[in-house]
Amino acid sequence: MLSGKSVLVTGGTGSFGRRFVETVLDRYRPRRLIVFSRDELKQQQMCDRISPQVYPAIRYFLGDVRDRQRLYRALDGVDVVVHAAALKQVPRCEYNPLEAIKTNILGAANVIDAAIDRDVDRVIALSTDKAANPINLYGATKLCADKLFVSANNYTGSHPTRFSVVRYGNVVGSRGSVVPVFLKLRGQGPLPITDPRMTRFWITLEQGADFVLASLQRMRGGEIFVPKIPSMNILDLTRAVAPDSPTETVGIRPGEKLHETMVSEDDARHTLEYDDYFAVLPNPAALQFHREADPQGGKPCDDGFCYTSDTNDRWLTVEQLREMVEEEGGIAN
């Protein structure tokens, strides 16, 4: 799918970006694979591991999604864009709301305009479960970005560009995960947990990269793709990472939910369910169009359906959680 193509990844030095780049280089032979990010140190560190001398297709392009002109230059001749750049630390976004808006919303608008004007073929943007029924600023900015990417399909005109979104839950090996915090405090005292009832959707970086690649192949434009992934309970995670450490309940932080949602009841009215994912469509008319184009495809969700981490029918055991964390290198032996 990506062999012979020029691919650009915004936020390419982040946790997902690095794994996605590694996966593409392992499976495909892209003509160019451009890492677009603003941190020169992270680019140098990534270049030391994935060098252009070993991988001639790789390019490292300094830039910020806030800078429209830089994006226009970076997207020259690009076929596929994976938009992973974002400010995503909930407390930092709450304290610096305008900075989150500039990157997550205005930066998304810049990516859209540059992609259309440069005749990019496909753009897929990474979202988050926090964008469904958001209660914090980060979730609100990502919901707005999702709307921008979905609506962008309405004004591409004669350009070939199509836009879709991928939405999934907490990533095991990403920066900001609670796992490194628990590992650091293991054996030093009680582990702080917000609420023993708290649940989250759980996915690995590898699974996230695989789902983005699959969504790139199946996208028609306008979908929000949601993988069917398991949930976990926060107490089970502490037992997996630090089984001998006690826990201390510290209370839910501002902007934090007890449980997460990936398909809300309102969105479910125009959502198709497949064997291993959901496709949230822009409106009921789009759902009908997809059904007519592919009558053997997904089925509409039942009235009143919602996909939440506490009502999920798939749950990770303590042993499965430990295996997932170990696979991502999160538990040192």
Residues labelled catalytic: 130
| Residue 166 to residues 28, 40, 226, 236, Cα–Cα distance (Å) | 21, 27, 6, 27
319-324 own/partner pairs: CB under 8 Å, 24+ apart: 319/240, 320/230, 321/202, 321/232, 321/236, 321/237, 321/240, 321/241, 322/240, 322/241, 324/172, 324/202, 324/204
Q: Which residue has the tokens 């900075």?
A: 99
Token pair in block for residue 50: 């994935």
Q: State both tokens at 11.
A: 């936020």
Torsion of CA 262, 264, 267, 269, to 10 degrees: 120
Nearest to 138 by CA among 101, 85, 178: 101
